[in-house]
Amino acid sequence: MIVVFGATGTIGTPLVTGLLAKGVQVRAVTSDPAKVDALQEQGCEAVVAGFDDPDALAQACAGAQKAFLVTPAHIDMRQWKENVIAAASSAGVKHMVMATGLGASPKARLTFGIWHSDSQETLKASGMDWTLVQPTYFIQNLLWQADSIAADGVYHDDLGGPVSWVDARDIADVAVEALTGEGHEGKAYGLTGAEALDGAAMAALLGKATGRTITVQPVSVEASQAAMVASGMGVEVAKAMVELSTLAPKGYLAGIETTIEEVLGRPAKDVETFISENQDRFSG
């Protein structure tokens, strides 16, 4: 049985679907009791546990052989991961696959890179076998501004440089393979798409899919941070998020990894396909 933390999120949702499609017994963990029925209807065992509730985390891990862990970007994310890793290790889980971020390292130039690195070291020291999936920026983040693109025909470029966007479904598929295939222990899989797109290229793809002219508007760090805080994000996390816009203009988010193709034996999903799948969301 595989226990999945973060099961209802951007990575977790396709991950659970992928595991169930392989006939694996899945225990999906949610902090929201209202989501239990839908998870059970999908074919999972579903349990309620908050990342800050050690007793509930211990129960969630009981009897599991493997675990997947992702937490939201949150000021407490390192403590939350530490809590889950401790619970899984104590429960005898043998192998944990954990989602962090590309470039996570003690020397990372991003706050998130350092936070993720701390969690990676915690997992490596746990005694469990481990696999890391380390994605770059999610293509699904485009949906954050779908309404305003549809309403105004403007793509707000808060990154300011080329980025090798990755589809969260590919992250999930790599994690499914790491959890169900052979030989993924001790591996760190950096995950990117196969192309780097800047704001102009993104606007062109949005325009092609919607049949409209989509213009690009740069977003200042201050405006970007204010918008994130207004949407409910904590100030420290918003500050960490906008650090991406200091790296993208230098080309540091444009590197291409071939891991998705190597692990899955198929190309990475591309931005154009995602936009066309969600065309109605971006159309006015």
Ligand X SMILES: NC(=O)c1ccc[n+]([C@@H]2O[C@H](COP(=O)([O-])OP(=O)(O)OC[C@H]3O[C@@H](n4cnc5c(N)ncnc54)[C@H](OP(=O)(O)O)[C@@H]3O)[C@@H](O)[C@H]2O)c1
3-state secondary structure of 185: coil
Dihedral angle over CA of 58, 59, 61, 65, nearest 10 = 130
CB 123 within 8 A of CB 215: no
The nearer residue to ligand X, 70 or 128, going by C-beta atoms, is 70
CB 214 within 8 A of CB 153: yes
The nearer residue to ligand X, 69 or 263, going by C-beta atoms, is 69
Phi/psi at 191 (5° precision): -125, 120
The nearer residue to ligand X, 5 or 282, going by C-beta atoms, is 5
Min dist CB 150 to ligand X, Å, is 21
**10 Å Cβ neighbour count for 148?**
14
**Maximal CA-CA distance, the chain:** 56
Cβ burial, residue 30 (10 Å; 0-12/13-18/19+): buried
The nearer residue to ligand X, 87 or 203, going by C-beta atoms, is 87
Instruction: Map tokens 């396909």 to a residue.
Output: 273
3-state secondary structure of 97: strand
The nearer residue to ligand X, 4 or 205, going by C-beta atoms, is 4
CB 106 within 8 A of CB 114: yes
In the complex, residue closest to ligand X by CB: 9
Min dist CB 62 to ligand X, Å, is 17
Min dist CB 105 to ligand X, Å, is 14
The three-point CA angle 206-210-216 to 5° equals 35
Min dist CB 213 to ligand X, Å, is 27
The nearer residue to ligand X, 153 or 253, going by C-beta atoms, is 253
Min dist CB 63 to ligand X, Å, is 19
Under the rule (CB under 6 A), what is the footprint of ligand X?
A: 6, 8-12, 30-32, 35, 50-51, 70-73, 77, 99, 101, 112, 135, 137-138, 141
Min dist CB 225 to ligand X, Å, is 16
The nearer residue to ligand X, 5 or 153, going by C-beta atoms, is 5
Q: Which amino acid is at 137?
A: Y
Rounded Cα distance, 111 and 104, in Å: 9
Min dist CB 143 to ligand X, Å, is 11
